[in-house]
Amino acid sequence: MAGPPRLTTHVLDTMSGKPAAGMRFDLLMLHGDHSHHLLTSITNEDGRADKPLLDGDHFHLGGYELVFYVGAYFQGIGVDLQTPFLDLVPIRFMMTEQAHYHVPLLISPYGYSTYRGS
């Protein structure tokens, strides 16, 4: 994974076949049984954050959690869900090397997948 160490994300709405523009997400750093909030952001028109979530002096190894507000996203784009299946989607992961970590999220109202991207 070339380039300077950094953390990025990308959200794709598999129901519509488009980037998930306007989805809120939080980034937390994990410390054993507790965490602390690092940032809140909204995906841009391409379903990405406008800049790396962590880079430079802010990039540290350890455990992290991204929390995506998928219920609010689908409600915001007019998907009529009487009883939403997904509300918040948390993704916990470890960064164990000085590298580019990319955490994509493929989302629909009823399921999701993720992986370590490049």
Per residue in 6-40, pLDDT (tens digit) is 999 999 999 999 999 999 999 999 999 999 999 99
What are residue 103's phi and psi, to 5 degrees? -115, 90
Query: Per-residue pLDDT tens for 87-103?
Result: 999 999 999 999 999 99
Residue 107 sits in a domain whose CATH number is: 2.60.40.180
- Structural domain contains residue 82: yes
- Structural domain contains residue 1: no
pLDDT grade, residue 83 (50/70/90)?
confident
- Structural domain contains residue 86: yes
The number of folded domains in the chain is: 1
The parent domain of residue 76 ranges over: 6-114
Average pLDDT over residues 108-116: 95
Share of the chain above pLDDT 90, in %: 88
- Structural domain contains residue 23: yes
Report the alpha-carbon distance of residue 11 to residue 14 in Å, rounded. Answer: 9
Q: Which amino acid is at 8?
A: T
Single pTM value for the model: 0.94
In this structure, of 37-46, 66-75, 76-85, the range with the lowest mean pLDDT score is 76-85
The pLDDT of residue 53 = 98
Q: Which amino acid is at 14?
A: T
The pLDDT of residue 80 = 80
Question: In whole numbers, what is the pLDDT of the chain averaged over residues?
Answer: 94
Chain center to CA of 72:
14
